[in-house]
Amino acid sequence: MAHRHGAGCGHTAVRHGSHIDYLREGRLEHQEGDAIQEHRIEVTEQNPDRCTPDHRCSEHSGHVHGPETAEHRHHETVPHGDHMDYLHEGRLHHHHGDHCDDHGPVQVVRE
């Protein structure tokens, strides 16, 4: 195994249920011994998959989410339900038409 997730590995750590996962190239990975399991943030009351047209990303940073944003502004992609969201200031954001949906908080862990 070339890479081992853990404190100081260089990937963003996210609390997911009772464990820690790591964001890596659009995947949410969980280190289990020598194996890596791919996880997704489940659609729940805390992390819904619904349209929130009144939420405006521009109110806090003047941008829209999309592949260029994730690549150039370091908003990492996070698998959520059956789609991908963007991690922005501890929240899941999803580009939807002319606005950004807020799909709730995630806890970024500082290791």
**Is residue 58, in this structure, part of any structural domain at all?**
yes
**How many structural domains does the chain have?**
1
Structural domain of 28: 12-44+51-109
Is residue 19 within 8 Å of residue 69, measured between CB atoms? no
2 is a domain residue: no
User: How many Cβ atoms sit within 10 Å of the Cβ of residue 80?
Assistant: 22
pTM score: 0.82
Classify residue 82: in a domain, yes or no. yes
Are 30 and 81 in contact by the 8 Å Cβ rule? The answer is no
Q: In what order do the strands lie in the sheet with 99-105?
A: 77-80, 83-88, 91-96, 99-105
In-domain check, residue 89: yes
In order along its 111 residues, the chain shows pLDDT tens digits of 578 888 889 899 999 999 999 999 899 999 988 899 999 999 999 999 999 878 766 555 555 555 554 444 567 999 999 999 999 889 999 988 877 899 999 999 987
**Domain assignment of residue 32, yes or no:** yes
